[in-house]
Every structure is written in structure tokens, then in C-alpha cells.
Structure 1
Amino acid sequence: MRGGSNNLIGLLVPEISNDFYSTIAQSLSQVCGRHNYRVVLSLTGDDGDNEAKNIRELVAAQAAGLIIVPAPTTRRASLQLLKQIPHVQLLRKVSGLDKIWFGIDDRDAITEAVEHLVSLGHRRIAYIGGSEALSTGVERREGFVRGCRTAGLDLADCAIHTGPPERQLGREAFDTLLSAKRAPTAIVAGAFNVAIGIIECVEARGLTDIPSVVGFGDPDWFAWWRGGLTTIRPPIDNLATSCALWFLDQLGDRQSKGLSLVEHSSVVASTLIVRASSRPVGPGRSVK
């Protein structure tokens, strides 16, 4: 890779077991391949030091540019290194990087989920999502609070659990919520892995009567789980494709005309897919 290569695009993501990031990697690879660029995949594990190491290696390899899902704690070294190379932020955004970002309207997506549950009669709705160390965590939490306030819900009855957006958070928070004296009648997941964790908890405990659940992301099997999981479906493939096409076009202008990348933001709306896991609130609920 070291030798004047200029057709490499670095893609930095936390992981690829998450359906979001594997879809992004595949879509970007396909688009870049059609334009004679190669995608180099780097997994950061959401670790700031690992992120800096990967950026340093890609800069040294003279990659043409980077597409990055920033870690929660992006290091100062990363910010300095990224000044040396064109880059785009994807899904998440942090200050200090170029103001070029492609992402999801996270607030509206979560607000719509709350509105859906309120329309079914739910008044005690809980939220499990990423921490405020992530821009997505901040915006999705704000979307939940906004939805509850707009519906006139008592926020004291609307529990919020946040943390690293991993399966463990989904499992532990869901278990805690079920054990509460006033358990919620509905729960919104604010991250893909959180939704998986909730499902794992339900299956591990063999629960037959659970709150209504709205997930996040939509792999094929969500449609099969217990009659189908109601979920927020972001257009990840379209987002990744439009990001790649815009970035490659900008890189072409930079190489041929000496132009700098222009500031740009692109926000896409998600779709709420309604299935069996969200249902009208009943007169009572027991957990078996």
C-alpha cells in the first residue's frame, strides 16, 4: 500500500457484526469499485487509540480519502492527522473534523416511534439507547424526550437507560425495566445492538408476555421474530451509496482542478415499519 497509491478509500467503523456497518461496507465497496477505487476496512472497536492508529496507517499509505464513523472519544492525534487527508463523517459526527457529514434524522426517527406507541394507548414508555458521548445518542434521546413531552406523558413514567450501544445494555436495561414496580408497557430501542440485546433477554428468559417493543435497524430476521418486530428502518444502503458518490466526485475535482472539499451535510429520514411487536396497551401485563 505504501508507494504513492491514490486509489484507496479508508473506511473506519466500530465493527461489522452490526448490520449497519456491514451494509455500509458492502455498499461503499461496490460504488468505489465501479470508480476504480478500493476500500480498505479498519475496525476501531469504538476505541480512540485504535482509531488514531488506523488513521495514521491510512495517511501513511497515502489513501485518497477516509470515510469515518467517529469513535466516542476521538483523540487529538486523530484530529491532527485528519487535517492531512480528505474525510467524511458518516452516521456520527464530532467537532474538530471537516464539516462534511452524511447521517440519519435521529430525532425524528425516535419521536415517530414514540408517537406510534402513544397512538396505541401507551403512557409508560421507556427508552434504551446510546450514551451522550455519541452524537447519535444525544439526538435519539432528545427525540424520545420530545415525543413524550409532545404527547403530554409524565416523564417520571418514561424511564431512560443509556450507555455504550451494545447488546449488554439492551439485555440488562430490559431486565431492569421488567422488574420495576411500574414496569413500562412499551420500550423503544435507540440502537441496533440494543434491540438485539432485548431480544436475547426475552428468549433467554422464555418470556411470553412482554411490553410492546420498537427496534432499530431492520435485518431480514426482524420480520420473523414473534410475528415481526416493529422497528425503525434507516435507508443505510442509500445513505452509504450517496456518501460514496458525493465523496468520489469531490475527490475527482480535487485531483483534476485542485479544488478543496466543500462543506456539506446530508440527512435522510428513516421509515417506521409496524409489525406485531407493537400492539394496543392492555388492561394489565404479567411477566412469566
Structure 2
Amino acid sequence: MKMSDVAKLANVSPATVSRVLSNPELVSKETRKKVLDVINQVNYKPHIVARQFRTQETKMILVVVPDITSAFFSKVLRGIEHMAIDHGYQVILGDTEHDINRELEYINLLHQKQVDGMVLLTARIDKEKLQDISAHFPMVLACEYMDGLDVPTVSIDNISSARKATEHLIQLGHKRIAHITGPMNIILSRDRLKGYRQAMLGHDIPIDSAYIQEGELTFESGYDQTMKLLALEAPPTAIFAFNDEIAMGAMKAAKDSGLSIPNELAIIGFDNIKMAMMVEPGLTTIDQPKYAIGKKAMELLLKQINNESIKKKKFVLKDELIIRQTCGAEQQTVSHV
């Protein structure tokens, strides 16, 4: 079954069939449905390799993530994939497991022209390397970002969000507030630490270096770092964690230490993954618009692929402070742009 056969059966031109397969948004809903019905009826499969030779397009997008096991990225990926599918693209996923060399290997797929563009959800390699790649291939950064890099980027304001989370604890009367960071080679960790420091200094609260512990992005790390904090002579009364998984590890450590949450230890996380509202007590956290980040990133990538101009390069989306029970305040949502 050839494309011309599908066209005859649908009573349209082969070019229309091609557009339905490659750029469905250019075809009316009625015609698109008629063509797709025939395609499904005869089980037509386009010759991908032949199409690639003809159009110099693969209709494939590479998305590189630092850790596919993280609950945070599933919603971001869903936003990317929904937008990609709507425009006739498929998504290939590359998991670096926080390995810079793996990140470079995936980027080589661009050089080999096996994909049409790339969304990076991690940015650990040299800025000069990324800038050079972006000059030759469509690329977007999402979630993570890099100072001074002239590449379309979608994220939230991590400094402001971290400051808001810390100030929430301060407003509840806490002064001994600890922060469990992520790995400090990640810009998100540095920015959230900066926001924590700004909040503390802004309220004239001394910053004790013993209250700042560098962790990994895992439940286990949150547990271990919290146990260290609770062993201090004057342990913190509140903890701001880099992400929800660390925060849940902190909750487990508190409970194993016989502490009541939030009466004896308040805890706030970051990301608002699904488990944050399922744990007991419910976790207060910063919500990132995960799906919207993914959708916007794919939208920007499509514009690059189609050679459309992008006047604005940095997109900062709205976050929300989701107040549940781990800090002792009434449940509510506080928006911030």
C-alpha cells in the first residue's frame, strides 16, 4: 500500500495525505478525519527512511532527562509529548542518570541527524558546548537553565520560590530553619540556596552553616541528612528541602526520631509531585507547572524547527505555594509569578 493508494481511496491528493502525516494542523478536520480513516482501514505505514531522505526530517524529537525515575519529570514529559504528537512528532527519551558523558552521547544524535531537535531537561555540560550546538540545531532548555546562555529556556524563578518557602516558615515563627540542598553542581540547588539565604537575612535571622546540608535528590538522602540535623545540639525546628522526595525522607526521619510533624518539626518541600498530597500529614510544597513547562518547551522547539523567529528567549512560568499540614498552617494555595 502506497501513499498514492491512500490518496485515491480518500479522494484527495498524495500531498494532502503527506500533510496529514507530517503537518496535520495544516489540514481541515474533515479532510484529516477522512484520510486517517482510510489509513486505519488499510493499516498504511509510511516509509520512515524514505521520508527522511526526501524531506531531511525524521519527525523525531529527543528529550534528555537527568533521572527518569524522578516523579517530577513524568508530568513535564507528558506536556512535551502531547504537544509533539499534536504536530506529528514522536519523542525519544534519553536518561543521563546525572552522567555528563551520557548527556554528550545523546547530543551526538543531533549531529548524526537522527532527530530534528532536542529538549534538554538537564544542563550539566559546558556552556560553550551548548551554545555551539544551539547555533546549528534546534534546542530548548526546560526546568534547568544556564546563566548567559542564548537558548530558549522555560522554567520558574527558583530563587523567588525558595525565598517564599523559607519565608512561610519564618512567618510561622521559626528561626532555626535548616535547608537540605540538592547537589551543588546543579544551578537549581545554588538558586534555591540563594533564595533560602535571602529570606533568612531579610528577616535578620543568623544563618548557621550546620543547618545547610548538601544532599542527593532522593528519599534516602533526605532521611540521612535530617538525622544529621536532628543530632545537632540545637536541632532545627523547621526544614526546607530541595525537593519533595528529600522532604519525604525528612518526614520519615522525624517520625523515626519520635518527633511530631508539624508540632516539633515543620517540613516544606518543592515540586508538588503526586505523593506530596498522599503522605500523612500532607506535605506543604512549592508547585511547579510541570505540564505547562513541557508544553511550552515543545512549542518553542517547533518554532525553531519551522524557522520561526523567537523574540523572547526566557520564559518564567508561575509557581504556587501549596500549604498542607507539615508546617502547621491551614491548607491553601498562594500564587506567585
Normalising by structure 1, report the TM-score: 0.85
Q: Residues 151, 95 of structure 1: CA spacing in aligned structure 2 closer, same or farther, 3 A cutoff?
A: closer
Does 2:306 correspond to 1:245? no
2:323 to 251, 269, 274: 274
1:147 to 199, 211, 215: 199
1:234 to 288, 291, 304: 288
Q: Secondary structure at the match of 2:107?
A: helix
Structure of higher CA gyration radius: 2
C-alpha deviation, 1:158, in angstroms? 7.3
Q: In the alignment, what sits opposite 2:313?
A: 264
Q: Secondary structure at the match of 1:154?
A: coil
C-alpha deviation, 1:174, in angstroms? 0.7
Q: In the alignment, what sits opposite 1:117?
A: 169
Q: Residues 247, 77 of structure 1: CA spacing in aligned structure 2 closer, same or farther, 3 A cutoff?
A: closer
Q: What percent of counterpart residues are identical?
A: 24
Normalising by structure 2, report the TM-score: 0.74
Q: Secondary structure at the match of 2:62?
A: strand
C-alpha root-mean-square deviation of aligned residues, in Å? 2.5
Does 2:150 correspond to 1:101? no
Letter in 1 for 2:146: V
C-alpha deviation, 1:49, in angstroms? 0.4
Q: Residues 263, 6 of structure 1: CA spacing in aligned structure 2 closer, same or farther, 3 A cutoff?
A: farther
Query: Residues 124 and 186 of structure 2 are in contact (CA less than 8 Å); yes or no, is this contact kept in structure 1?
Result: yes
C-alpha deviation, 1:163, in angstroms? 4.0
Query: Residues 72 and 134 of structure 1 are in contact (CA less than 8 Å); yes or no, is this contact kept in structure 2?
Result: yes
Query: Residues 47 and 71 of structure 1 are in contact (CA less than 8 Å); yes or no, is this contact kept in structure 2?
Result: no
Q: Residues 96, 262 of structure 1: CA spacing in aligned structure 2 closer, same or farther, 3 A cutoff?
A: same
Letter in 2 for 1:276: Q
Query: Residues 180 and 212 of structure 2 are in contact (CA less than 8 Å); yes or no, is this contact kept in structure 1?
Result: yes
Query: Residues 170 and 197 of structure 1 are in contact (CA less than 8 Å); yes or no, is this contact kept in structure 2?
Result: yes
Query: Residues 90 and 103 of structure 1 are in contact (CA less than 8 Å); yes or no, is this contact kept in structure 2?
Result: yes
Count of paired positions? 274
Does 2:104 correspond to 1:52? yes
Does 2:263 correspond to 1:209? no
Partner Cα separation in structure 2 for residue 175 and residue 226 of structure 1: 19
Query: Residues 84 and 298 of structure 2 are in contact (CA less than 8 Å); yes or no, is this contact kept in structure 1?
Result: yes
Q: Secondary structure at the match of 1:15?
A: coil
Q: Which runs of 5+ in 2 are unaligned?
A: 1-47, 330-337
Partner Cα separation in structure 2 for residue 70 and residue 167 of structure 1: 20
Q: Secondary structure at the match of 1:144?
A: helix
Partner Cα separation in structure 1 for residue 209 and residue 301 of structure 2: 45
Q: Secondary structure at the match of 1:272?
A: strand
Q: Residues 75, 251 of structure 1: CA spacing in aligned structure 2 closer, same or farther, 3 A cutoff?
A: closer
Partner Cα separation in structure 1 for residue 128 and residue 313 of structure 2: 23
Partner Cα separation in structure 2 for residue 247 and residue 73 of structure 1: 20
Does 2:236 correspond to 1:184? yes
Letter in 2 for 1:209: S
Q: In the alignment, what sits opposite 1:286?
A: none
Q: Residues 271, 95 of structure 1: CA spacing in aligned structure 2 closer, same or farther, 3 A cutoff?
A: closer
